[in-house]
Structure 1
């Protein structure tokens, strides 16, 4: 009985370690690349701005009270897959890690993707 308990414990621990080791961005301590974010979520709505990758459809950002700050620029070819070229990119007044993209009176909030 004791032997079975030890074997089960070892299986559980090895599964937990394997799950942690396959996490994109783990132990990188910096900004995630487009490839890393897409590995985690192949259908992610991404924005590349100033060499950093931002992702939308993050639940808490939709409920957070955020207001547009300074206009940073416009989306150009290759910066985003789900946002048209010419959409305006804004900083937020409340957070440095969230951008607001505005196009045709629709706002999307993009969160900076950072590794663990």
Structure 2
């Protein structure tokens, strides 16, 4: 009797595992990107720029409190757009043209911008 119950439990376990599989397909998790228009509609005074299709925003309290180290330069602000919300890569609404963009050693979702000796921290704005 115990042996039969054991085999039934194993069969049910295997059936459950097999029934819950996705047939060998991979599951893709994606993060949707928010555009400049969405960010600026929520905060019209936001200081933002776009890099590799992602909008980055500064003046976020918890980000400002982080101790971050500037890593390699990955770009610079090439154009300024303070008239509308149609942004392209390396375009900012408040940063001056020529501001240097650096990665942060400690975090991949924060970029560091250096403007006339001042360091600003920008967080990637994404929705998941």
> TM-score surpassing 0.5?
yes
Mark the structure with the bigger radius of gyration.
2
Q: Which runs of 4+ in 1 moved over 6 A?
A: none
| Structure 1 or 2: more strand by fraction | 2
| Structure 1 or 2: more helix by fraction | 1
Unaligned 5+ residue runs, structure 2? 1-29, 81-90
What is the TM-score when the length of structure 1 is the normalising length?
Answer: 0.72
Distance, in Å, in 1 between the alignment partners of 2:108 and 2:39 is: 19
What is the TM-score when the length of structure 2 is the normalising length?
Answer: 0.66
RMSD of Structure 2 on Structure 1 (CA): 1.4
What per-residue deviation string (whole Å, max 9, x for no partner) do you get for residues 54-103 of structure 1?
00000111110110011101111131121110110000000000000001
Unaligned 5+ residue runs, structure 1? 1-27
- Count matched residues: 89
Match of 1:90 in 2: 102
Q: Is the 8 A contact 2:54 2:126 kept in 1?
A: no
Distance, in Å, in 2 between the alignment partners of 1:91 and 1:29 is: 20
Match of 1:44 in 2: 46
Q: Are 2:62 and 1:60 equivalent residues in the alignment?
A: yes
| Aligned equivalent of 1:71, options 51, 73, 84 | 73
> For 1:16-31, what aligned pairs fall within 5 Å after superposition?
29-31=31-33
